[in-house]
Structure 1
Amino acid sequence: MEEINKEEFTVVIKNENSSNVEEETTKKPPFKKRKPKPKVPRDNSTNSNNNQKSGEGWVTDLKKAYLINEKIHKDRLNPHYKLNLNTSAKLKITPLGGLNEIGGNMMVVETENEAIIVDVGMSFPDGEMHGVDILIPDFTYIREIKDKIVAVIITHGHEDHIGAMPYLFKEMQFPIYGTSLPLEMIGSKFDEHKMREHRGYFRAISKRTPIKIGNDFEVEWMHITHSIIDSSAVAIKTEAGTMIHTGDFKIDHTPIDGFPTDLHRLAHYGEEGVLVLTSDSTNSHSPGFTRTEKTVGPTFDKIFSSAKGRVVMSTFSSNIHRVAQAIEKALIYGRKICVIGRSMEKNLEIAMNLGYIKFPKDQFIEAHEVNKYNDKEVLIVTTGSQGESMSALYRMAIHEHRHIKIKPEDQIILSSKAIPGNEASVSEIINHLLKAGAKVAYQDFPDIHVSGHAGQEEQKLMLRLVKPKFFLPVHGEYNHALKHGQTGIDCGVLERNVYIMSDGEQIEVTPKYLKKVKTVKSGKVYIDNQLNHRISDDVVLDRQTMAKEGIVMIVAQINENDRTLAQKPKVSSFGLVSDKQDKYFVKEIEDILGVFLENVKPGILKNNRILEDELRKVVRKHCTRKYKKYPMIVPTIFVQ
């Protein structure tokens, strides 16, 4: 056989596109054909394993495929196997406010060596707390662990989350981390309290960027929709695991500013494995989804289009997007905007200065300029939607405002819902507005207000995204938290891993367990806003007693030798008997005093404090028996 040259050789082939064009290519020398291998029967199970190993994602064994997918479902729904069960690290969570109530939110999150505070909010007093303007959390536990605290982190700018900050910072100071709006709102409070220097503690953060705080914490702020702009949930990473705290939230897919809840980051942490979730329970009894803020706009448009006079819109001063929607309608209908109410003016100014909302400043007028314009050319945005007796709207309604008085043809919009406990106040202000001849749009328009808190379906979505091992419902009364806890169980959290906390309870969490370890001092501190100082508990109790039971004051002069009255005693009572009965009541007390002196032990006359205490008991016993009251008794005895 002729030997083949091992060097490459050239052949000529024709191009398919042109018979006239030839091109060269190279070929390797031919080799002898190999004998074909015998065919082997295909082993499906072997190929399935090979396919599975090679990552092709399919198998031919359907039962096996089902079992594989079942495991995948279990793993994605319960990613807790990713938690470090070998760690000895512990996370402690201690709420100091916000549980079994609406408002006053404050929580401490601790490791062995460090701690952070989440929000420092205030709440409002009930009608029996006379002379009390606001309530703040008891800071006793904060004082005890002061040296451990490395930061205060803020979720959003509502009063029930930042309102107590000035009172905390009068005692102790820490770095404050948060987004621009809540920090500036806190700054405004510091300015009012003459604490401007504390602005130096501000640390403005960027969302979606984990920040190292101290040695033990890494915190990321995630955007959340709520009834105030620039709200956040926080992911708090520690050696023990990740804690997600939602803050107040709803899941609005079409918010006014176009920035919906950051579901992607929540899901990201859910896939990583979340140790514990603390989540807003306020609307736990509300089925379905909370309506989007945008539903209010068409209602405003309908009211503005038919208004024959001035439009007066009142809402919560912090609801910037609600105010912005009203202003947009005013501009469309050619109305100037007058903003009245200190908190409303302040919050709107902050939001505009920081760039959250943008409106031409020449469209705004002052209160004293309102009467220069035709009624159909004016929108008044004001506070007072909760019927506060000192609010601008209330003073307008009863004609006590310096520049503006409600009159016939005025269209009032109350774009809010009465906070529990404020129903009577709201009803009162509506009556005043109607008596003044105004038209009031309130509950007869279902979309005049929407909540800022998540309904049940949004709570379920949060639970499914985060997939926590342990669940602690927060922010709300006991019944709200209990209902939210059941929703958590329905969404796959084990019943034994759900705990309904109370203020002051310290919960210890590790990847292996959750348990209550102790109770710390908690409660409320009464604040007089006029003087910006604390009111002691006994003062409030005395005021309650005087309001409910009345007061009796006795001034008497006694002869020690014969234990008789030196002169007729002075007796005054308030809130116990009517003016007509007063002289009979005075005679009763004189008789009681005479009998008391006849029977009193001689030694008691030498100790005024004991003498007055004994007289107090005798007079109170008489009032309780005859008048079924337990009044405050104030005796002043002079012994000569």
Structure 2
Amino acid sequence: MEVEIATIGGYEEVGRQMTAVRAGDNVVIFDMGLNLSKVLIHDNVETERMHSLDLIDMGAIPDDRVMSDIEGDVQAIVPTHGHLDHIGAISKLAHRYDAPIVATPFTIELVKQQIEGEEKFGVQNDLVKMDAGGTMPIGEKCELEFVNVTHSIIDAINPVLHTPEGAVVYGLDKRMDHNPVLGDPIDMDRFREIGREGVLCYIEDCTNAGKKGKTPSESVARSQLKDVMYSLEDYDGGIVATTFSSHIARVKSLVEFAEDIGRQPVLLGRSMEKYSGTAERLDFVDFPSDLGMYGHRKSVDRTFKRIMDEGKEDYLPVVTGHQGEPRAMLTRMARGETPYELDEGDKVIFSARVIPEPTNEGQRYQAEKLLGMQGARIYDDIHVSGHLNSEGHYQMLQALNPTNVIPAHQDMKGFSPYVELASNEGYELGRDLHVTKNGNTIQLTE
């Protein structure tokens, strides 16, 4: 059976992931993501109002026109998890394909919300839920499988396309967490089984390949966060926290520790309300019944006013804006554009790292400076990554023993540590280690 890979997006940058795998006459698309930095660099861009071709031209979503060169019928569109760099282009591109969108329940719900916010295209693709461990046929000779992985968002999987030539494992994004705060540990037993069955190709996220050792568990970040928040138990001023809105495990920890130190947690910001509300509604997390979640700006400002009236010392606002996004809550607070007033000595907890990309770094720098000018004390980098460090990559290669390897989720500079690691394991550039670009195809078998 002919097997070829189309590397459509995410092979020259972090963001706008999209890969297609053709096995015979059947094609499966993995991810359709957004490159958020290409949007944020423009003022007041609203992607839901924009046409897909305009977004392609600005580098915000994958240029999927290479799909016209792929001979075969798309059988499924498979997002691996709910981050925007993996689902953010579905509402712009999925309507071009007569295929269902297949994902885990939490991811499907987020995809549904993306589609409902679309203003240009009526995306009618069927939405099919499949849990980790589930399988479905792809044509007569292939099968799609979901393997449970751990990442900085719940309900993440690595999809595997089983073909007569061996498995194609799409390895974006994960860390090896054997003690997660929410959900099940990564299913390394199944990855080892797939390795013994035979892996034709492994497509791997290279984000942290140059970092030594193992990526710590989310339980480590939880412990760090507990240490910081408990140390502030006797502080009688304002404490504000921010983290990734989609990081439900981290939000859960913030809510619990706020209550432990005698503060009422409240979630503020549109995406904070969206992700946490969805997770609670689908029973992925059990929040206190009186936890307030407010996304609309007027509701947020009313809540800020109530906090100021009743006393900052009794509340922990958990807000959007950890990357310094211009319209996010923390950035508005830093600019003095909310009823919440920061005083000398107030604490701001960043339970997140800045995404290493110039737009984000610049915005985060500005936000921190503005907060500091108001007298805020910054608690930074209380976080663990959602991506594999070098030892995790080594363990995955040992478990899967793939015939071919394709680095992804980086630019050329970001690929180099992974290329060195894979080369040390016997892979050779141009033979079975394929460094590629967006828009290319790689023929694995003929």
* TM interval, short-chain normalised: 0.7 to 0.9
- 2:114 pairs with 1:176: no
Q: Select 1:391's aligned residue among 328, 332, 346.
A: 328
Q: What corresponds to 1:377 in structure 2?
A: 314
Q: What corresponds to 2:444 in structure 1?
A: 509
Q: What corresponds to 2:372 in structure 1?
A: 434
Q: Does structure 2 retain, via aligned residues, the 8 Å contact 1:472–1:485?
A: no
More off after superposition, 364-373 vs 306-315:
364-373
Q: How many residues align?
A: 418
Distance 1:150 1:105 in 2: 18
Counterpart code for 1:108: A
Q: Does structure 1 retain, via aligned residues, the 8 Å contact 2:92–2:121?
A: no
| Cα offsets for 1:6-26 (capped at 9, x unmatched) | xxxxxxxxxxxxxxxxxxxxx
Distance 2:272 2:439 in 1: 34
Shift in CA distance, 133/489, structure 1 to aligned 2, threshold 3 Å: farther
Counterpart code for 1:432: L
Distance 1:128 1:260 in 2: 37
Please report the RMSD computed on the Cα atoms of aligned residues, expressed in angstroms. 2.3
Distance 2:272 2:444 in 1: 41
Q: What corresponds to 1:267 in structure 2?
A: 192
Shift in CA distance, 172/468, structure 1 to aligned 2, threshold 3 Å: closer
Question: How do 1:441-590 and structure 2 match up within 5 A?
Answer: 441-443=379-381, 448-493=382-427, 496-510=431-445
Q: Select 1:211's aligned residue among 114, 136, 148.
A: 136
TM-superposed deviation, 1:235: 1.4
Q: What corresponds to 1:188 in structure 2?
A: 113
Distance 1:128 1:355 in 2: 36
Equivalent residue of 2:213, what SS? Answer: coil
| Cα offsets for 1:36-78 (capped at 9, x unmatched) | xxxxxxxxxxxxxxxxxxxxxxxxxxxxxxxxxxxxxxxxxxx
Equivalent residue of 1:120, what SS? Answer: coil
TM-score, normalisation: structure 1: 0.62
TM-superposed deviation, 1:132: 5.2
| Cα offsets for 1:352-406 (capped at 9, x unmatched) | 11111101221336542323433222111111111111111111111112x4333
Q: What corresponds to 2:237 in structure 1?
A: 309
TM-superposed deviation, 1:128: 6.5
- 2:25 pairs with 1:113: yes
Q: Select 2:342's aligned residue among 401, 406, 413.
A: 406
TM-superposed deviation, 1:276: 1.1
Q: Does structure 2 retain, via aligned residues, the 8 Å contact 1:178–1:205?
A: yes
Counterpart code for 2:27: A
Q: What corresponds to 1:150 in structure 2?
A: 75
Distance 1:352 1:249 in 2: 23
Q: What corresponds to 2:50 in structure 1?
A: none
Q: What corresponds to 2:54 in structure 1?
A: none
Q: Select 1:250's aligned residue among 175, 188, 195.
A: 175
Q: What corresponds to 2:8 in structure 1?
A: 96
Percent identity among equivalent residues? 29
Counterpart code for 2:260: I
Shift in CA distance, 265/371, structure 1 to aligned 2, threshold 3 Å: same
TM-superposed deviation, 1:133: 6.0
TM-score, normalisation: structure 2: 0.88
Counterpart code for 1:316: F
| Cα offsets for 1:303-353 (capped at 9, x unmatched) | 323243232111221111111111110121222122111111100101111
TM-superposed deviation, 1:237: 0.9
- 2:97 pairs with 1:160: no
Q: What corresponds to 2:353 in structure 1?
A: 417
Q: Does structure 2 retain, via aligned residues, the 8 Å contact 1:308–1:409?
A: no
Q: Does structure 1 retain, via aligned residues, the 8 Å contact 2:7–2:437?
A: yes
Alignment gaps of 5+ in structure 2: 48-59, 295-299
Q: Select 1:331's aligned residue among 259, 266, 271.
A: 259
Distance 1:239 1:276 in 2: 13
Question: How do 1:107-146 and structure 2 match up within 5 A?
Answer: 107-126=19-38, 135-142=60-67
Counterpart code for 1:333: I
Distance 2:141 2:15 in 1: 29
Structure possessing the higher radius of gyration over alpha carbons: 1
TM-superposed deviation, 1:407: 3.1
- 2:257 pairs with 1:320: no
Q: Does structure 2 retain, via aligned residues, the 8 Å contact 1:330–1:336?
A: yes
| Cα offsets for 1:276-313 (capped at 9, x unmatched) | 11111111110111111112223322332324323211
Distance 1:359 1:196 in 2: 35
| Cα offsets for 1:501-532 (capped at 9, x unmatched) | 1111100112xx8xxxxxxxxxxxxxxxxxxx
Counterpart code for 1:487: L
Q: Does structure 2 retain, via aligned residues, the 8 Å contact 1:125–1:133?
A: no
